[in-house]
Amino acid sequence: MTHSKRSIIGTANVISMVRILLSVFLLFVFHNSAAFIIIYCLCGISDIMDGYIARKTNTESKLGSMLDSIADIVFVGVTLIFVMNRIEISFVIYIWIAGIAGIRIISVIIGYFRFRELVFLHTYANKITGILLFLYPVLYQLTRLEKGIWVVCTAASMAAMEEVLIHATSKAVDRNRKSILVRK
């Protein structure tokens, strides 16, 4: 592997690692709205950039995919903490979020037992859920519509169930499988 290809691979992975650090840092700037918004947006931009760089430079890797998934999990966790601390949501939503987390855990377990590795998928449904979750705090600040969380939870539920079905029915790992309906 050439030096430039290694540095490009490193670039996408470094961006994912920076997103992990920025996501954790968000926990410390909840009460500073300007800093929160800037760091929050940087996390969103970095989520797009790492995958884009890896795809465009043909340097996608198992490590990069795992780092991206870990960064997504940390960012989603921090975003949920922010939403739960700043936005009044009903007990039903808490239960729903716990159910989604449970389905995600079942998906990881199925993937691990079937393929002997941790498998997180980058499906369209997961990407749509990520976009909705990313936009929700901003849209809430603008509209104060609490019911938007129902849209996010519906998308997250569908994405989680689709991932379980893909893990249960796939013959091999394909982290970039776009949908249960679409095969490469």
Q: What is the pLDDT of residues 118-171, one digit of tens each?
A: 888 889 999 899 888 888 877 776 776 777 888 899 999 999 999 999 999 999
- The residue extents of the domains of the chain are 1-86, 87-184
Which of 6-10, 61-65, 76-80, 88-92 is predicted least confidently? 6-10
Tokens encoding 139: 């849209």
Neighbours of 106 (CB within 10 A): 16
Give the pLDDT band of residue 24 (cuts 50, 70, 90).
very high
Tokens 């500073």, located at residue:
32
User: Do 121 and 175 touch, CB atoms closer than 8 A?
Assistant: yes
- pLDDT tens digits, one per residue of 93-114: 889 999 999 999 999 999 999 9
**pLDDT at 175 (0 to 100):** 81
- Which pairs from 49-56 meet CB under 8 Å and 24+ separation? 49/12, 49/15, 50/12, 50/13, 50/15, 50/16, 50/19, 51/12, 51/122, 53/8, 53/11, 53/12, 53/15, 54/9, 54/12
Q: Against a cut of 0.85, is the pTM above it?
A: no
Give the pLDDT confidence score for residue 7 in this predicted structure. 52
* Dihedral sign computed on CA atoms, order 167, 169, 174, 176: negative
Residue 28 vs residues 19, 39, 71, 108: alpha-carbon distances, Å: 15, 11, 17, 29
